Amino acid sequence: MNAAVAAPASEDLLRRFDVPGPRYTSYPTADRFVEAFSADDYVQALKQRRTGAAAMTLPLSLYVHIPFCESLCYYCACNKIITRHHDRAAPYLRYLSREVDLHTAHLGVGQTVTQLHLGGGSPTFLSDDELRELMAMLRRNFVLAPGGEYSIEIDPRTIDASRLDTLAGLGFNRLSFGVQDFDPAVQKAVHRVQPVEQVFSLVAAARQRQFDSINVDLIYGLPQQSPESFDRTLEQVIELRPDRIALYAYAHLPERFKPQRRIAGAELPTGAAKVAMLSRSLAAFMGAGYVYVGMDHFALPTDALAVAKRQGRLHRNFQGYSTQPDCDLIGLGVSSIGRIGATYSQNAKTLEEYYDCLDQGRFPVVRGLALSRDDLVRRAVIMALMCQGQLSFESIELGYLVDFRKYFAAEIETLRQLADQGLVTLDGSGVQVTDTGWFFVRAVAMVFDRYLQTDRTRARFSKII
């Protein structure tokens, strides 16, 4: 490690803001969705898109959830199905096709898509032929625009160089490798053993095939980790030099996520150790030339994400930071979340319920939210802070016909406290997140979250550090 590079945020500040809070991949956050929002409400939202001439010309984003995994990672909080029976994929693809057919019945065939993400679970659980079938089905119904972002999450244990050829041939141009930690003891403790040599070989093969961007996911706070052991992983990741790095804090919530009960609490690093890992990670990655894009995300200066941040074109959706403009998102598959117009929706979380809804010829939407005017105003404010790090009072006033200083009088007073701590600057025209404040941007955004103001129970969220 380069000891000469100082962490960009002090450990004192990191400790002070080590509190639970939303990640703001949406506002309101998904925990605020209600079952009163039904499949009928989703149909109405699709109809409004179809009848709105402007909306129909806007491109779509697609998210496809593949829930299957061959083995259980103990830290995982995703919606997944652990199985070695690969024959379960075939019926799932048939039901995905039915769900797409329901969408095209309302929107028509040929809607333009500029962003596609396959998540899971492990999308690479699907065979090459099944991936071809899925992509052919999507291309029959949608137009994947040239130059779009087409990404897939990869479990390195399920793929080799020949499968990378398949992914490139299918049009994927962005890969995300799940690494978490290279330390063998940590890998064993979380039941995800994958040799460092395997990941290095795959990333080298991906570079040869000229994928636009390669991301590596890391997690700090896992069992058996220490600041010193994580330093070794940081060194290896810097040597690997992916285009993007996503660094997440492990949230140990065994009462909510059953797999985490297999993790011995005594093996988890202390809070002080986690703060040290984050501090040293920030210093290591930025010392190695990475740009801190925002909340958990780093990118090389030449990567599209870093370029978008420099140019003020950063956006945020359910997959995190994106270079793609705000657009409607269709979520396909079990538990997927979508956004159409001023609504959010989520599909059934079990295969049985998901299949049953589609057997009845209806969308598998089981909950969601129709955003109020207040939700829309606050979403605009929070996304401006999360993506641009600045907020113009005038732009919100013109866009939403509110008097910002009156509407957000209480919030402005709270911001003054953050200004005293050096996280923001505040004047008569707006708010600017400082360089230090950018590392705590979730805390700044939380000031404007009306739901948190009325509900102080934040245990449902991960720590913001």
> What integer pLDDT is reported at residue 5 of this predicted model?
42
> What integer pLDDT is reported at residue 303 of this predicted model?
95
Q: Is residue 340 part of a domain?
A: no
- Domain match, 38 and 103 both: yes
- Domain match, 139 and 193 both: yes
> What integer pLDDT is reported at residue 189 of this predicted model?
96
- Domain match, 130 and 220 both: yes
> What integer pLDDT is reported at residue 32 of this predicted model?
94
Which among 314, 329, 344 is the end of a domain? 329
Cα 177–chain centre separation: 14
Q: Is residue 140 part of a domain?
A: yes
Provide the domain limits for residue 398: 1-20+373-465
DSSP secondary structure string for all residues of 137-198: HHHHHEEEEEEEEEEEEE-GGG--HHHHHHHHHTT--EEEEEEE---HHHHHHTT----HHH
Q: Is residue 108 part of a domain?
A: yes
- Domain match, 41 and 8 both: no
The model's pTM is 0.92
Phi and psi for 258 in degrees, rounded to 5? -55, -40
Which among 275, 302, 329 is the end of a domain? 329
CA 404 → CA 51, 115, 396, distances in Å?
32, 33, 7
What CATH number is attached to the domain comprising 402? 1.10.10.920
- Domain match, 308 and 379 both: no
> What integer pLDDT is reported at residue 6 of this predicted model?
45
- Domain match, 167 and 265 both: yes
Nearest to residue 26, comparing CAs of 297, 367, 397, 320? 320
Query: Which residues of the chain register pLDDT less than 70?
Result: 1-9, 53-56, 455-465
Q: What is the pLDDT of residues 225-283, one digit of tens each?
A: 999 999 999 999 999 999 999 999 898 889 988 999 999 999 999 988 998 998 899 99
Q: What is the pLDDT of residues 318-332, one digit of tens each?
A: 878 888 777 899 999
- Domain match, 232 and 380 both: no
Question: Domain tally for the chain?
Answer: 2
Q: Is residue 184 part of a domain?
A: yes
- Domain match, 321 and 413 both: no
Q: Is residue 347 part of a domain?
A: no
> What integer pLDDT is reported at residue 436 of this predicted model?
86
> What integer pLDDT is reported at residue 411 of this predicted model?
96
- Domain match, 15 and 34 both: no
Q: Which amino acid is at 322?
A: S
- Domain match, 311 and 438 both: no
Q: Is residue 45 part of a domain?
A: yes
Sign of the four-CA dihedral 192, 195, 200, 205: negative
What CATH number is attached to the domain comprising 229? 3.20.20.70
CA distance 227 to 221: 9
Q: Is residue 153 part of a domain?
A: yes
> What integer pLDDT is reported at residue 317 of this predicted model?
83
- Domain match, 382 and 259 both: no
- Domain match, 41 and 171 both: yes
Q: Is residue 449 part of a domain?
A: yes
Nearest to residue 126, comparing CAs of 97, 155, 149? 155
